[in-house]
Structures are given as C-alpha cells and as structure tokens.
Amino acid sequence: MDIKQIQELIKFVSRSGVNEVAIEQKDFKITIKTNQTPTVITTTVPAQAVAPQVLPSAPAVQPVAVTANNNAAAEADDSKYITIKSPMIGTFYRSSSPDKPSFVNVGDEVTAGKVICIIEAMKLFNEIESEVSGRIVKVLVDNSSPVEYDQPLFLVEPM
C-alpha cells in the first residue's frame, strides 16, 4: 500500500463517518481511528499474523423481556437463511447509478455469480456477486450507506 492509497483511505474514512478501519495484509497492518478529532494512523510490520484487537464498547442497554423474546424469535427465524456479507469496507449501492433499477429486490431469485450490489471503496466501484443461489428475503443495508468488512448485506433463502 503506497502513501497515496493511505491518503485516499484516510479521506474515505473521514467522509464515511466510520470510527475505525483496520486493514491487514501479509506483512503490513494499518489502523485508522477517528472520533471527529484528528485521525490517528498506526502501522506495524508483524513477524506473525496478529489477532484482531477487540475494543471496549459502550455498555449495552438491557432490553425488556418482551423485546428479548421477540428478538430471540426473529434470530431463530433468520437461522434458516444464508447471510451474504460485505467482502470489504466502502459505500453500499443497490444499483449501478441512481436512475437505474436495483440489482436485486426482496423476492428476487439469485444464482451464484449474479451481481447483487456495488461497494465503492477508494473511488473504485466493486461489483459484488452472490456466492449462493436462492431468493432474497431481506436487504439489510440502506442504499448509499457505509458498510464494514463482513457486515451482513442480504438474507437469502437457499433453493
């Protein structure tokens, strides 16, 4: 990764509203953290693979019992679906341009290799293809929203 790519990544992170981005490659690791204050960059060259750091989060608010039961039922219901996750950080787009129709909608059938969305990362538009065949049950991300690596994008009912 050269300095120009790092600068573009910093600009992207500051515009997207993401608080932290970490990228690891074979012999290179970069972490960019923001809190609406100056961006901090940490780079290291690890001798071995480094396990991802777990950062402390804000204390979670305990839901009421009725909500917890509803969430448990929803999670159990979603377990029969396959989750298509983001392979990278970037901005999620459902269509190739604002005046074009969405690649997929709820109820559409997809096959492995079909383009289902675009993720823009550092001014590059990456077509994301489905790795499974099935029917789109739910779109989990709003159009033009920032997404993280491994963030769920779609729920698919397998065929």
Task: Express each pLDDT in 75-115 by its tens digit.
Answer: 556 678 999 999 999 999 999 998 999 999 999 999 999 99
For residue 157, the SS3 value is strand
User: Within 10 A of 67 (CB to CB), how many other CB atoms are there?
Assistant: 10
**140: β partners:** none
Instruction: Give the HSE-up count for residue 67: Cα atoms under 13 Å, Cβ half-sphere.
Output: 4
DSSP string, 82-151: EEEE-SS-EEEESSSSTTSPPS--TT-EE-TT-EEEEEEETTEEEEEEPSS-EEEEEE-S-TTEEE-TT-
Question: Could you tell me the fold of the domain covering 82-158?
Answer: OB fold (Dihydrolipoamide Acetyltransferase, E2P) (2.40.50)
User: What whole-number distance in Å separates Cα of residue 10 and Cα of residue 146?
Assistant: 14
Residue 156 has pLDDT above 80, yes or no: yes
Q: Say which DSSP state 13 is in.
A: H
When mean pLDDT is compared over 6-10, 12-16, 57-61, the highest value belongs to 6-10
Average the pLDDT over 14-31 and give the result: 73
Q: Are 16 and 146 in contact (CB under 8 A)?
A: yes
All structural domains of the chain with their residue ranges: 3-33, 82-158
Residue 49 has pLDDT above 60, yes or no: no
